[in-house]
Amino acid sequence: MAAGAAGLFLPNLNSYGFSKNLKNTSANDQINIGSIGINGMGWANTLKALKVPGVNLVAVCDVDQNAIARRLNDKAVADIKDKIKIYSDYRKMLEQDDIDVVYIGTPDHWHALMMIDAAAAGKHIYVEKPIGNSIGECEAMVAAQKKYGSIIQVGQWQRSSTHFQEAMSFVHSGKLGPIRTVKVSCYQGWMRPQPIVADSAVPDGIDYKAWLGPAPNKPFNASRFHFHFRWFWDYAGGLMTDWGVHLLDYALIGMKATVPKTIVGLGGQFAYPDYSQETPDTLTTLYEFDGFNLVWDSAMGIDNGSYGRNHCIAFIGNNATLVVDRSGWEVIEEKRSENKVIVPLQKKSNNGHQQHQFNFMQAIRENKPELLNCNVEEAAHVAKVAQMGNISFRANQKLSWSAKINQFENSGINEKYFTKEYHNGYQLPKI
């Protein structure tokens, strides 16, 4: 596949000193943000945004009033909390005229509707990864950005980490020799499903109907709520989409690849068969590309993944293997090679999560969406590749993808899995 296609974008890192130049930000450069979904990463993103000079938090929205109360007691917003407007319905927040940028940190099944509505309301947007919860949602979000013209950054913040870019430059140098396999390992010891508990009454302060939104109506169950929504197909896609959009992203960038020819996903609930989960706690997925194979290997509840890391991307070449994770990158010698290539561990040199916010705000202030390190189209592309792996696992069969028609070759698979059915009166807009 040709370089320059979707998913191969090499991020811009020239704005790392952005904050140093804005200590005296003018009134015209002030950017007001409103944050939807502030229980987890949504709040982490918000706090990082507030470290960019001239960024002001003017509104928060969450269906859990307990989360709002907890976050507004954060010392980081102690001086401004009385000026922050509070919402439980995000659509009402979008009507607030002085909001320039909307942050979306909800469960995955809400990302598409909220991003599209925010774009239609004329807001710029930061949306958490994975961008969509189905291939169809991803494509609708790309179309919405093109229609409304919002500047939209997606929360794949590793694209703003300098050491990942240094590693990709080394991969592209050819020094590793021909690369026949890329292994992506994701072992997350701190992530595990919850024990099965009985359905219960909705806790006080939570609008559960609004939390479900377009997902099917089901009784409240603590093992599916808040952080643990990740392990249920109605709301997310397990480790494959939660971490896959970070790691598969750089596998594609490193190989200058776009879409696979075939996909086969094998796994199950092997480690926690009696716990509350639908997504696999163990998954191995093989993606076939022209000239190389890409292997995804994930496991919940344990940390001892490939090369002694709990996550990494390994480019295995004839001369050497490059391994990169969030701590840094190194090149490991292939002992049989005559072209000795060794690079000791190169540690990370910047805070990618913080830089991602600098980059986003710079693109807004300069009105240059091309500056974004992770735009909607690129994020949607890798999210679709992650979805392909999950769909193969769920269908229990090897699948072929047609780049020509942008669908699986099996029409029955497309009908069943391409776009999730919406419920409770919600519809995915046709853009």
Question: Model's pTM, two decimal places?
Answer: 0.94
**CATH architecture of the domain covering 18-159+353-375:** 3-Layer(aba) Sandwich (3.40)
Among 28, 76, 19, smallest CA distance to 365 is for 28
Residues 199, 352: Cα–Cα separation, whole Å: 40
Return the pLDDT at 23.
Answer: 40
Dihedral through CA 106, CA 108, CA 111, CA 114, nearest 10? -50
Cis geometry, peptide bond prior to residue 344 (ω within 30 degrees of 0): no
Residue 210: partners with Cβ closer than 8 Å, 6 or more residues away = 63, 88, 89
Q: How many residues does the chain have?
A: 431
d(CA 228, CA 265): 22
Give pLDDT, residue 14: 47
Domain ranges of the chain: 18-159+353-375, 162-350+383-404
pLDDT at res. 338: 80
Q: pLDDT tens per residue, the chain (431 residues)?
A: 333 344 455 565 444 333 333 344 455 689 999 999 999 999 999 999 999 999 999 999 999 999 999 999 999 999 999 999 999 999 999 999 999 999 999 999 999 999 999 999 999 999 999 999 999 999 999 999 999 999 999 999 999 999 999 999 999 999 999 999 999 999 999 999 999 999 999 999 999 999 999 999 999 999 999 999 999 999 999 999 999 999 999 999 999 999 999 999 999 999 999 999 999 999 999 999 999 999 999 999 999 999 999 999 999 999 999 999 999 999 999 988 888 889 999 999 999 999 999 999 999 999 999 999 999 999 999 999 999 999 999 999 999 999 999 999 999 999 999 999 999 999 999 98
Q: Which residues contact 88 (CB under 8 A, 6 or more apart)?
A: 61, 62, 63, 65, 207, 210
Query: According to the 3-state scheme, what is the secondary structure of 364-405?
Result: HHCCCHHHCCCCHHHHHHHHHHHHHHHHHHHHCCCEEEECCC
State whether residue 199 is helix, strand or coil. coil
CATH number listed for the domain at residues 162-350+383-404: 3.30.360.10
